[in-house]
Structure 1
């Protein structure tokens, strides 16, 4: 993959005009939701004064088009698409684009054509991460070698208060779509700690705009050892009521010590029924 150059990008208005009429609508309620989401997305583009030739070219030449607001997302990250043909750009979006190097990746689900995000461990808020007696950082070789980034994962050495948090703004998600949030973790079989994480249940919390909270618990006893697996935090539908910022959390707060786990990332993606 060739790194994308940073430069000024042109307005998202052209692709908005071509894409929004093609959003699938199954009811009058969804029609209203899309119109309200359009209003929200237009607020993102108010500061852009350039023309929309790139968006028009992409929608004209590509049968499968990127989500309607992909240019706004790249614009906010100061990422240029000038060196990419429409096909190259779509393929790059399927692979993923780093919005923040080593921390935040944006990608498009190829099958569903929806916006998705990966929040890597370095961008998550981990309690006690600054204390090397409790947590350690190490590079995971097989995560993103093709992106020329040294992606790090967080290794839990031992804590009582286990707390991991993240957040993301929902204006960049695809309207009318049911999303899920998952943490990607690995359990370790280590001999230096008797209180391995598979002995515990963790509390997962999803906080939506307007402070609506969804909480669930998951037992780790049946999880595989030495392999990456996902823990679902919760799911939500991208409606106008959920425009804002969501936060997601994983925790275990007993007085017992916990150890022997590795945190890779959190993923915000469409729920695939």
Structure 2
């Protein structure tokens, strides 16, 4: 009867358990129809629907849904062994296994809750001051790196790293954060980070590679810097945010975003820093809390 309603109730103190009624208005829809509806949501929403509604459980596995969440070029991003897999399996493969592109100089994966593209630029794809001078830098291998080679500082007084990415490589209408991914670092040394469209004014901030520095002010002479602490990554590396930008995207928009980390003003010698690259991934937007 159409007068019946689909109920989702929480049981127990504080909730936590969801009871789904056996009947839902969606039971009158075909599986293909439900799949088409869900394809206009997000991967996260699709998984939630499957968890709370029996009507959605089988429909959510449909290729109709997951092909909408995949990038157009996904066939070239997967190994031949996955060619006959379901689109859902391919989607989560691309979330969990970053794919090397451009001769191993970059890697791409999908952000699992949204399907938006995340890209890491390898150290080899970046501009690094004095990289060809073996007294200053070396190319080495490192466990846990996504790339064949990473860059290690031997001895430099001028530290400068720059990377660029075209808006077409990223998901449109998306706020992105960029992170420098590294091991070791320089203690008590302010690094200037800039992020912005090439040729236009960039946002600027300061950070420090020293993991013992967290929310502290560092003074040298008349200058004062406020530092954030680098974060430990699950892959054993560390990262710290360089800055954020909004990728408008679209066929008519082809900007180049540049990200840089520079330390040139305090020219004491630096060593030991190991660079894997710069990762660009969707930003976590802090929404204002409402009271009421």
Scaled to the shorter chain, the TM-score interval is: 0.5 to 0.7
Contact 1:124–1:164 (CA under 8 A) maintained in structure 2: yes
- Aligned equivalents of 1:198, 1:180: Cα separation in 2: 24
Q: CA deviation at 1:111?
A: 1.7
- Aligned equivalents of 1:253, 1:162: Cα separation in 2: 6
Aligned length: 206
Residue 137 (structure 2) pairs with residue 135 (structure 1): yes
Contact 2:119–2:279 (CA under 8 A) maintained in structure 1: yes
Q: Partner of 2:161 in structure 1?
A: 164
Q: Calculate the aligned-residue CA RMSD, in Å.
A: 3.3
Residue 272 (structure 2) pairs with residue 260 (structure 1): yes
Q: CA deviation at 1:101?
A: 3.3
Cα 1:177–1:228 change in 2 (3 A) is same
- Aligned equivalents of 1:250, 1:73: Cα separation in 2: 32
Greater alpha carbon shift after TM alignment, 250-259 vs 203-212: 203-212
Q: Partner of 1:229 in structure 2?
A: 238
Q: Partner of 1:113 in structure 2?
A: 115
Partner of 1:160, secondary structure, is coil
Contact 2:167–2:249 (CA under 8 A) maintained in structure 1: no
Paired residues for 1:118-197 under 5 Å: 118-144=120-146, 151-187=148-184, 197=186
Cα 1:259–1:167 change in 2 (3 A) is same
The normalised TM-score by structure 2 is: 0.61
User: Gaps spanning 5+ residues in structure 2: where?
Assistant: 1-35, 43-60, 214-228, 286-292
Partner of 1:71, secondary structure, is coil
Q: Partner of 1:5 in structure 2?
A: none
- Aligned equivalents of 2:174, 2:206: Cα separation in 1: 24
Contact 1:187–1:198 (CA under 8 A) maintained in structure 2: no
Which structure has the highest helix share of the two?
A: 1
Contact 2:181–2:275 (CA under 8 A) maintained in structure 1: yes
The normalised TM-score by structure 1 is: 0.65
- Aligned equivalents of 1:136, 1:176: Cα separation in 2: 38
Q: Partner of 1:213 in structure 2?
A: 202
Cα 1:113–1:180 change in 2 (3 A) is same
Q: CA deviation at 1:121?
A: 1.0
- Aligned equivalents of 2:103, 2:171: Cα separation in 1: 23
Contact 1:66–1:90 (CA under 8 A) maintained in structure 2: no
Q: Partner of 1:202 in structure 2?
A: 191
| 1:127-171, Cα deviation, whole Å (9 max, x unpaired) | 111111111111112224xxxxx6211111111111111111112
Of structures 1 and 2, the one scoring higher in RCO (CA 8 A, sep 6+) is 1
Contact 1:73–1:172 (CA under 8 A) maintained in structure 2: no
- Aligned equivalents of 1:211, 1:224: Cα separation in 2: 28
Partner of 2:284, secondary structure, is coil
Partner of 2:187, secondary structure, is helix
Contact 2:94–2:110 (CA under 8 A) maintained in structure 1: yes
- Aligned equivalents of 1:152, 1:164: Cα separation in 2: 16
Structure of higher CA gyration radius: 2
